[in-house]
A and B are shown apart, each in its own frame.
Chain A
């Protein structure tokens, strides 16, 4: 289960800044770093190397 609690406390692992939750595409977005972190099968993949560029 992906809890709302976890979504609230996750930050960008690179800049430790707040993330924007794109619920439709299941992504966590860091605008300053220009990175999109994927959420796969309810698991956020918070790795800078695996993030997509915005």
Chain B
């Protein structure tokens, strides 16, 4: 898909609502401290990189495997963040290079998602948040079945427990799993449902696993 067309979805009322709900959930789960650095793995056209950079004060880097999308992200960014083309399974950074590392609905399109999750944890120093697509959601019923439709073609969908299991054996602790976007229509009813939905019922389209870096016994 063309980068401009893809990014324009976030300017539609529905796309903007979904995007900002997801960015808000990522930011609240990350709890960044002033001046902390951030890496966005699979940044695509940079919507989440820009949204998170606007809420943080430290250096921000976005990487994606698609050069056309990275060029668009750099062009849209206006100089706040830096960008590189990279494979999520082999990131061009040393261990513990960034205070915070996020990946928003990107690893669900990577063929070896375990390798990508390992890399996210490896390059993070303090905290990470990985957003995936929830198979126990209304969005999956609408767009995910039979290989997926539109922008969801080829995506892997996870349940909350499968999402958490991707981190098994890695040096992480205090894992939190939360979801957002219960009703993907984005209308008035969706906004109401989103406000009153109990946090413990993990049925939002967007599923986020966040945690601290460090061994569980620490």
B-contacting residues of A (Cβ < 8 Å)? 1-3, 5-6, 9-14, 16, 40-48
Contacts and interface: CB of A to CB of B under 8 A. Distances in A.
Interface of B: 59, 61, 63, 65, 67, 70-71, 74, 79, 82-87, 90-95, 97
Nearest to A10: B92
Centre residue among B84, B93, B95, B97 by max chain A CB count within 10 A: B84
Contacts of B59: 3, 5
Contacts of B70: 43
Contacts, number: 59
Contacts of B87: 13, 46-48
Contacts of B65: 47
A10 B85 contact: no
Contacts of B61: 6, 9
Contacts of B95: 16
A9 B38 CA distance: 13
B84 A9 contact: no
Contact of B86 (A1, A40, A41, A47): A47
Given A47-B85, A47-B86, 11 more contacts: A1-B82, A6-B61, A6-B82, A6-B84, A9-B61, A10-B93, A16-B94, A16-B95, A41-B71, A44-B85, A46-B87
